[in-house]
Structure 1
């Protein structure tokens, strides 16, 4: 009986953890979008200058700043270049978060920006979504967690001989 309750508790824990996945993915995507919009706002004036003088090529604008005779412009070339690179990075990150759900999960697990992940985690508030995605994630995580832990415990019990009587052990070792 205790084993059944432990299974249920383990299943419930897995379910509650699993329903968090879609919410976290959504929050990360929203954070990326917010940073991207802020980045675009910061580049707005530079984009206008690049449009007017460099045929919309921000890299040409940065290159012009780097070779300028004006030391202030040369100094600002690095800052503008950093802004351009950040905007490109955030655009790539946003494209990754527009993909299929499995691509989003893979991206978060393997290639997501650590700083954005940390920001998302710090601001994340646990929630129980009743959306089909969240329910599917919850059930999948619950089953996987229950299966892994129970399988691991049964494996340990088998290795250490729990559940076998002495006659079965003697027959087995003959």
Structure 2
């Protein structure tokens, strides 16, 4: 009886802790999204300087500026062309990430976050993460799903091992 109480208490504590961690995921995604938004704004700011040059000298065509720079014999200018090209690509990537994190339903956002996580941005977000207790449906649902997953996976694994060992036991004729 004491063992059952102890196991039940551990299950409840594990579920509660898992729920609290799971509830934090939507808040982490929100802060991660803000980090991506900040990176995008910074990249757009830097690109705007080159866009001004393109406006003044290349009829606003940034691609012409990049081609001119990258085809220039001066290595410094050539390297600047490569930097501008990478900046354009970075803005496209960050824009796509931001779109997927802000303009889609929650479950799609969660899937995108898990599958396409930018580790550098996640680490920066984690360094500056502010704990919160979001009481939104998404947060509560995520907490419940995460806690259920954490509790059920070990139980399923134990049940599978028990079933296999029982099957082995009965096959050997040791019953």
Q: Distance between the aligned counterparts of 2:17 and 2:164, measured in 1?
A: 27
- Residue 25 of structure 1 is matched in structure 2 by 29
The one-character-per-residue Cα deviations of 1:27-72 (angstroms, maximum 9, x if unpaired) are 1110000000011111112112223443443222110112235554
How many pairs does the alignment contain?
166
- Say whether 1:136 aligns with 2:134: no
Deviation at 1:121, TM superposition (A): 2.1
Unaligned runs of at least 5 residues, structure 2: none
Unaligned runs of at least 5 residues, structure 1: 162-168
Deviation at 1:108, TM superposition (A): 2.1
Q: Distance between the aligned counterparts of 2:7 and 2:75, measured in 1?
A: 74
Q: Distance between the aligned counterparts of 2:79 and 2:157, measured in 1?
A: 60
**Deviates further, 142-151 or 22-31:** 142-151
Deviation at 1:23, TM superposition (A): 0.7
- Residue 54 of structure 2 is matched in structure 1 by 50
- Say whether 1:118 aligns with 2:123: yes
Q: Distance between the aligned counterparts of 2:20 and 2:13, measured in 1?
A: 11
Tell me how large the CA RMSD over aligned residues is: 2.5
| 86, 101, 106: which one aligns with 1:101 | 106
- TM normalised by structure 2 equals 0.80
